[in-house]
């Protein structure tokens, strides 16, 4: 029963059990990028599901930099009441609730019509789908300073809204991950070159965030165990970054892996080799646990209680669950009753890995929409149908986003 034991974090915060609802991007904000009824309904469902920790989907620190249309943005206090309602609902059953804060860098589709920032002007390599993303501009020192300030400000606002922590997203190929990787960071200044320099932006953001929030507020980092690309951010790099984080007041590190180019977090490597066995980042996590001074959480493919228990028995502190909780939000309560349940989507074995990745995300978002409407999920939905629906939805949201941004200008 160790998965149902509490965990006390370095800042004194107590998580009621070792099961976390890991972040999934919902794209359910209103036209002002605020959380609204659909998100409230979704998070009420997860709050009642029994997870000890709930981590939100991406909350962007800059409305000009979106992982997708319909994303939530928190950059000022004008509409803080909506975020307060979101936090109150998510915390209603005793879960700790952390806001995942993020900047996409070059992983922002060109049809959003915004300038793309990155450490270096290196475009994404997505084969035939590469043209959907602009070649980014190399960030200036002023841009880097602005991003640091934005992460810190968003964290401060999250605490004011009633969230109990933030998770700084430095994985999955987003901006901070781009700075960490030698494949996307070719800078010759203090922000590039050596790993110490490539990790500098993450370290400075952690320091800036901690300076803006209380000691009781959790500050976590999501980090790739590796990029799964030759010459990219490696497992050894990740160990060294965790050692750097050891010197800072970080309350938890979540380990995942991959990016848009190599979506390992979804179960596939670029060469097609399967990573879909449950807890596929566990081996690395147990190695990190030996050197980490903060608790470690592993996320990726976990859907059975037996596997979740094995993760904890291996010495890892928390289990992050994403897709399984999109299909069955009550999974922790079901496992507590010793009932067997292992939610799973239909496998996608398309040759086009980038398209398969989009389809996988679409099938997850299909489940999230069902939950937000108070409906029953459908794990057997056709990935192609889910992808078509998602593309139609995103096309509409993209048009709306562009109009809103034109009006603001």
CA angle 328, 334, 338 (to 5 degrees): 145
Q: How many domains does the chain have?
A: 1
Q: Tell me the per-residue pLDDT of 134-165, one tens digit each, with 9 for 90 and over.
A: 999 999 999 999 999 999 999 999 999 999 99
**Rounded to whole angstroms, how far apart are CA atoms 150 and 143?**
10
265 Cα distance to chain centroid: 10
Find the CATH number of the domain harbouring 237. 3.20.20.70
Helices 282-291 & 235-245 angle (0-180, nearest 10): 40
pLDDT value at position 300?
A: 83
- Read off the pLDDT band of 225 (50, 70, 90): confident
Report yes or no: 219 and 169 within 8 Å, Cβ to Cβ: no
**Rounded to whole angstroms, how far apart are CA atoms 4 and 336?**
8
What does pTM read for this prediction? 0.94
Report yes or no: 36 and 79 within 8 Å, Cβ to Cβ: no
pLDDT value at position 330?
A: 97
Q: Tell me the per-residue pLDDT of 312-342, one tens digit each, with 9 for 90 and over.
A: 999 999 999 999 999 999 999 999 999 989 9
What sign does the dihedral 351-356-357-360 (CA atoms) show?
negative
Q: Which two tokens stand for residue 273?
A: 């080799």
Report yes or no: 50 and 330 within 8 Å, Cβ to Cβ: yes
Domain span at residue 335 reads: 2-408
**Rounded to whole angstroms, how far apart are CA atoms 242 and 50?**
29
From the list 123, 247, 241, the residue with the least C-alpha distance to 173 is: 123
**Rounded to whole angstroms, how far apart are CA atoms 173 and 336?**
35
Average pLDDT of the chain to the nearest whole number: 92
With H, G, I as helix, E, B as strand and everything else as coil, classify residue 289.
Answer: helix
Q: Tell me the per-residue pLDDT of 335-368, one tens digit each, with 9 for 90 and over.
A: 999 998 999 998 898 988 778 888 999 999 999 9
From the list 238, 245, 139, the residue with the least C-alpha distance to 195 is: 238
């Amino acid at each position: 029963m160790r998965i149902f034991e509490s965990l006390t974090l370095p800042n004194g915060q107590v998580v009621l059990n070792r099961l976390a609802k890991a972040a999934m991007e919902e794209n359910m904000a209103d036209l002002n990028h605020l959380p609204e009824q659909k998100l409230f309904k979704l998070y009420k469902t997860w709050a009642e599901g029994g997870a000890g920790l709930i981590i939100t989907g991406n909350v962007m620190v800059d409305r000009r930099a979106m992982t997708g249309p319909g994303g939530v943005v928190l950059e000022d206090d004008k509409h803080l009441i909506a975020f307060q309602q979101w936090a109150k609902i998510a915390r209603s059953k005793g879960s700790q609730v952390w806001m995942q804060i993020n900047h996409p860098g070059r992983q922002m589709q060109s049809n959003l019509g915004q300038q793309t920032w990155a450490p270096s002007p290196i475009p994404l390599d997505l084969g035939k789908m590469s043209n959907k993303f602009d070649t980014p501009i190399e960030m200036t020192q002023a841009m880097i300073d602005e991003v640091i300030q934005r992460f810190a400000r968003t964290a401060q606002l999250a605490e004011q809204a009633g969230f109990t922590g933030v998770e700084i997203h430095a994985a999955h190929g987003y901006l901070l991950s781009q700075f960490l990787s030698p494949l996307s960071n070719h800078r010759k200044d203090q922000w590039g070159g050596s790993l110490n320099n490539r990790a500098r932006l993450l370290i400075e953001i952690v320091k800036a965030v901690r300076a803006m929030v209380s000691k009781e507020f959790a500050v976590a980092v999501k980090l790739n165990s590796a990029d799964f690309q030759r010459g990219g951010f490696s497992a050894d790099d990740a160990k060294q970054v965790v050692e750097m984080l050891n010197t800072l007041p970080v309350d938890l590190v979540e380990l995942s892996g991959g990016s848009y180019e190599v979506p390992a977090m979804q179960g596939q490597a670029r060469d097609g080799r399967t990573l879909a066995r449950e807890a596929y980042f566990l081996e690395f996590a147990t190695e990190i646990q030996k050197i980490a001074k903060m608790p470690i959480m592993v996320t990726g493919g976990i859907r059975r209680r037996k596997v979740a228990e094995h993760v904890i028995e291996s010495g890892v502190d928390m289990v992050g669950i994403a897709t399984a909780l999109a299909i069955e939000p009550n999974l922790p309560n079901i496992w507590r009753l010793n009932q067997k349940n292992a939610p799973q989507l239909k496998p996608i074995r398309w040759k086009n890995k980038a398209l398969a990745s989009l389809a996988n995300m679409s099938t997850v978002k299909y489940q999230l929409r069902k939950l937000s409407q108070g409906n029953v999920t459908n794990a057997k939905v056709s990935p192609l149908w889910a992808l078509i629906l998602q593309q139609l939805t995103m096309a509409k949201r993209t048009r709306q986003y562009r109009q809103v941004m034109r009006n603001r200008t």
